[in-house]
Amino acid sequence: MRRFMNVQYSEYEETLVDIYLPDTDHYTTVVNFHGGGLDRGDKYSEDFEKMAAGLTAAGYALASVEYRKYPNAKFPDFLLDAAKATAFVKNFVKDYGGNGDVIIAGQSAGAWMSLMLCLNKKYLENEGIDSEEIKGWFIDSAQPTSHFNVLVQETGAHKRTQRIDEYAPLYFLGKDSKFSKMILLTYENDVVCRNEQNQLFYKAVLAFNPEAKIEYRLLGGKHCNAIEQRDENGGSLYAKLFLDWILKE
């Protein structure tokens, strides 16, 4: 595994990405956005190292992205960063044997960001990417309604407010919404309303497109538990779940 740590992808000091490459060529890259409610969290941890080891061993690259967060950011700074990071990584890996194909993944707030990139196409389009070019979307406990902390920070609403507006991926879902393939993960002991929100999103996608390649899976444990868990061999359960999904026809 080859590492490029703390690579700056834009002019903002905190916009850094850790890139882990397999010892092969012509690989696809997973661009991952960490969780943390848009005001905390970090691109680097032992869990991400384990994920990178599992993905690179299977011939995939991993780019773990840092982005601007509250209180130093405001909507949509973190989404602009996510789109810019995706474009940067897509080009970066081509110099090191990558094929330029990208799968976008995220946990919690990072999963909300991923869904926003998927459905509000302007963010990736501003970076020269059609969201339909993305090869897959691995969505771990996203909030497809309006993100609670965006509502708190931008409107003063209570964090339990349920709303579908311009801060919600669901707001942009329609008959023209298309993507390659997607999986939604939530957990038996997830945060309040998270399972129901994802079930709504899943059903809403199929209502517009019954042939959509979308899967919803309920896992045991607590919110985003898979990133912390290990498989039977001591590797990343998250990486195993990802590989089982992406390799499935």
Residue 248 pLDDT: 81
Which amino acid, one-letter code, is at 246? Answer: I
Give how far the C-alpha of residue 142 lies from the chain's centroid of Cα atoms, to the nearest Å. 9
Q: For residue 244, what pLDDT band results from cuts at 50, 70 and 90?
A: very high
Residue 232 pLDDT: 86
pLDDT in tens, 214-237: 999 999 999 999 999 998 888 999
Which amino acid, one-letter code, is at 166? Answer: E
Q: Is 249 a residue whose pLDDT tops 70?
A: no
Q: Is 185 a residue whose pLDDT tops 90?
A: yes
Domains of the chain are 2-246 (3.40.50.1820)
Residue ranges in 93-193 assigned as alpha helix (H): 109-119, 122-125, 148-155
How much is the mean pLDDT over the chain?
96
Residue 190 pLDDT: 96
User: Once rounded to an integer, what is the mean pLDDT over residues 91-119?
Assistant: 98
Between β-strands 27-33 and 60-65, what pairing exists: parallel, antiparallel or unpaired?
parallel
Q: In what order do the strands lie in the sheet with 16-21?
A: 2-8, 16-21, 60-65, 27-33, 98-107, 136-140, 182-189, 214-222
Q: How many residues does the chain have?
A: 249
Question: What separation in angstroms does the CA of 49 have from each of 27, 107, 115, 181?
Answer: 18, 15, 24, 25
Residue 73 pLDDT: 97
Angle of helix 237-246 relative to helix 46-57, nearest 10 degrees, comes to 40
Residue ranges in the chain assigned as alpha helix (H): 46-57, 77-92, 109-119, 122-125, 148-155, 194-208, 237-246
pLDDT in tens, 115-172: 999 999 999 999 999 999 999 999 999 999 999 999 999 999 999 999 999 999 999 9
Between β-strands 16-21 and 2-8, what pairing exists: parallel, antiparallel or unpaired?
antiparallel
Residue whose token pair is 């579908």? 164
